[in-house]
Amino acid sequence: MSGIDPITLSVIQAGLQQVCDEMDTTFSRAAFSPIIAEADDRSDGIYSAEDGSLIAQGLKGLPVFVGTMQASTRTIIEMIRDGRCLPPEEGDIYIVNDPYLGGTHLMDVRFAMPFYRGGKIFCWLSNIGHWPDIGGAVPGGFSASATSVEQEGLRLPPVKLFKRGVMDREIFSIITSNIRVADQRIGDIRAQTAALEVGKERLGELLDRYGDETVLDAVAELRARSAEQMRACIGSIASGTYRGKAFIDSDGVVNEPLTIALAVTKTDDNRLIFDFDGSSPPCKGPMNSVLATTNSSVYLAIRHIFPEIPLSAGAFDPIEIVRPAGTFLDAQYPRPVSGCAAEVSQRIAEAVFAALVNALPELVTAAPAGSSGNFALGGHDPVAGRDYVMYQISGGGYGGNAREDGLTNGCSTIGISKSPPVEITEQVFPVHFLEYSLREGSGGAGRHRGGFGLIYEVELLRGEALASFVMDHGRFGPQGALGGNDGKSGEIVVMRGGVQHRPAHITKEQDIPLAAGDRVRVETPGGGGYGPAHERDPGAVLRDVELGYYTADEAAELFGVAISIGSTIDPERTARGTVSGGNELCS
């Protein structure tokens, strides 16, 4: 333990967190793209000068970036040391989106700025934002049938976009010459840069107040305490090996499911070892996951289970992830990866939940909807006289848990991003939402039922456009837990000229041509149920019927509760028999 007093330690911890939170807020408020400005698909953090390890990350940043930003910053530091990247100077900002260098998919663009004190790098300030387009075959970057990363868009190694505080116009021109709606990117670039500048100013104020050495001591102490707390939480798990599985609908090219097989071993010295041996081999389509995203998916799943542990690199120290070489969870160039951050990551988290729900039944939930609902629409607006790329994400139901029903229309497992407001989307793009409602009854039945998904239907008002989807949980619904039923799977229906079209891969297809008046209807998955449905409180079933979530017939079929005319429970007719449960989650 360091000699720093607890009050000072707590204040510095809160100060570092505040720096990151202000960076997040600045980024969103200044961004042009609705996916950042409204949906908050971004994250900011502070990273070690020595090895890029996480010091602090914004509370409102996407959890899936907790590991990838650390990996990306570490890779930049290593490349600088190896001479593969130009050495930094004060005022420099590196840009990188290469998935194989600690990244996710190409649309997640990372900025990294060295933060100097006394002429030396004290730490790195880094952030990441989802750009609506990065070039490639499909508007929005979500190519459902890509077979190489080049088809997905422009891939940037770490290069200096800003040199000594001045933008390199040549690098900027290369970027904007290879992406759609390039005129909007300068706004997002300035927002991303402004967030780093705010972080630089706020962190400098914190260091001026407490001193560089005191803050460094606090960072080391906070990391040690996070590791200690994580080991204490792991200690509540009985030693042994726990197994879980999750499935991806298809890779978008080969119409067969992919398997994530996971064994989690709890050791006697309070560590967790994650082994994905037995998972599917590398796939042809874009559902491969790079190593940084695979690792980060495990970290975020553990964060869901133990959210009270302060976020720093120390929280990862007791976690060992065996490299899943030879599987689709360790993608190597040139495997396509556009689905890794938004979809595969959530199946990895689902496998973690499935493995640990028997070990920690009071803490782990049934499976959530587990899809970001990626829907990209690219076209030309004849009234505005410009091209556009609309990127829509959507929520779904969370799984039930030991205490309560799952959250309805919650954000994806991997983040805190929300769907942009309908009103904003309709102002910016030539579309009109005809429906935006709860998908009632979509949660899996259980002692505590799953939360409900979402239904939306959107119409193209004018011009022509191409629609592309990279979603998941259409072939399999989110898993129930401990006898609970699975949630309903997702659905996509496209109405073209009055003719109904459903993607052959259920949740994945690209470049579907739309004309004015054509519509897209999406129904997102409900969460899995927790515990046997026949154990649900009849009063809770009655309330669901009164609210219109289920009909009386559905209440009898799913929960064995008879609802009489007048919305009262009929105790004589209420069946309390066994209701079929969900998947067996672990052994």
User: Does residue 351 surpass a pLDDT of 60?
Assistant: yes
Structure tokens belonging to residue 177: 């010459």
pLDDT in tens, 483-521: 999 999 999 999 999 999 999 999 999 999 999 999 999
- CA torsion, ordered 319, 323, 329, 333, to nearest 10 deg: 130
Residue 217 in tokens: 């001591």
Closest CA to 159 of 92, 210, 242: 92
Helices (H), 273-316: 291-305
Confirm if 351 and 302 have CB atoms less than 8 A apart.
Answer: no
pLDDT of residue 555: 94
Task: Report residue 515: phi and psi, to 5°.
Answer: -120, 170
CA distance 179 to 205: 38
Contacts of 284 (CB under 8 A, 6+ apart): 147, 251, 253, 254
Percent of the chain with pLDDT over 70: 96
* pLDDT for position 2: 63
Q: Is the pLDDT of residue 257 over 50?
A: yes
d(CA 356, CA 304): 12
pLDDT beyond 50 at 586: no
Under the banding of pLDDT at 50, 70 and 90, the label for residue 169 is very high
pTM above 0.85, yes or no: yes
> Whole-number mean pLDDT of the chain?
94
- Burial string for 73-111 (b: 16+ CB within 10 Å, else e) reads bbbbbebbeeeebeebeeebbbbbbbbbbbbbbbbbbbb
For residue 562, how far is the Cα from the chain centroid? Answer: 40
- pLDDT tens digits along 26-78: 999 999 999 999 989 999 999 999 999 999 999 888 888 989 999 999 999 99
Asked if 400 and 487 count as a contact pair (C-beta separation under 8 A), the reply is no
Inter-CA distances, 193 with 152, 174, 197, 353, 478, Å: 25, 18, 6, 37, 39
* Conformational region of residue 541, where left means phi above 0, alpha means psi within -120 to 50, and beta covers everything else: alpha
Whether the per-residue pLDDT at 276 is higher than 80: the answer is yes
Confidence of residue 569 (pLDDT cuts 50, 70, 90): confident
Q: Report the alpha-carbon angle 133-135-137, nearest 5.
A: 110
For residue 476, give both structure tokens: 């399999």
CA–CA gap between residue 45 and residue 23 (Å, rounded): 8
What pLDDT, in 10s, does the model give residues 409-449? Answer: 999 888 777 788 999 999 999 999 999 999 999 999 999 99
Kindly give, in sequence order, each residue whose CB lies less than 8 Å from that of residue 228, ignoring residues fewer than 6 positions away. Answer: 314
- Count other C-beta atoms under 10 Å from residue 291's C-beta: 21
Q: How far apart are CA 479 and CA 243, in angstroms?
A: 14
**Side-chain-side CA neighbours of residue 305 (13 Å):** 29
Phi, psi angle pair for 523, to nearest 5°: -120, 115
**pLDDT reading at 261 higher than 80:** yes
What does the alpha-carbon distance between residue 561 and residue 202 come to, in Å, rounded to a whole number? Answer: 58
pLDDT of 577: 43
Give the amino acid at 297.
Answer: S
Mean pLDDT of 360-389: 96
Q: With contact defined as beta carbons under 8 Å apart, do 313 and 219 qualify? A: no
The answer to whether residue 523 scores a pLDDT higher than 80 is: yes
